[in-house]
Amino acid sequence: MVFTEAIVAGFTSDPLVAPIAVRGLRIISVGFPLYAYGYVLTQSFNGAGDTVTPTLINVCCLWLGEIPLAYLLALPAGVGPSGVYWSIFIAFSSMSVISALVFRRGTWKLKRV
């Protein structure tokens, strides 16, 4: 969040692109702690021998959630590129929350490896 301008400057000097990239980095980076938590939880299912649960969570949140939401926010809602960045934030955050809820149910403990 702090060095976004310097990071973007390493990739582009286009005055039209740089502000969009900076905004994108800031929106997405806010959720990194929550994303990390979600990835640890989904991979814990894999470690317990349950590969179906993380697959379903990823398909629902990232494929069926993020992509349509990015389109809806960017074009019909008129938010533009920021809508795409917010869809990433929303999809990964929802993946984290859903993973935490499923993990708390404890059904992964019943899997036999």
Are the C-beta atoms of 28 and 8 separated by less than 8 Å?
no
Give me the mean pLDDT over the 10-39 stretch: 95
Question: 61-96 burial by CB neighbour count: b if 16+ within 10 A, else e?
Answer: beeebbeebbeebbeeeebebebbbbbbbbbbbbbb
Q: Provide the pLDDT for residue 83.
A: 98
Residue 53 has pLDDT above 90, yes or no: yes
pLDDT tens per residue, range 83-98: 999 999 999 999 999 9
Give whole-number Cα distances, 6 to 27, 64, 104, in Å. 16, 34, 41
Are the C-beta atoms of 66 and 91 separated by less than 8 Å?
yes
Domain ranges of the chain: 1-30, 31-110
Residue 40 has pLDDT above 90, yes or no: yes
Give me the mean pLDDT over the 67-80 stretch: 98
Extract the runs of DSSP E, i.e. beta strands, from 2-54: none
pLDDT classification of 109: cutoffs 50, 70, 90: confident
pLDDT classification of 30: cutoffs 50, 70, 90: very high
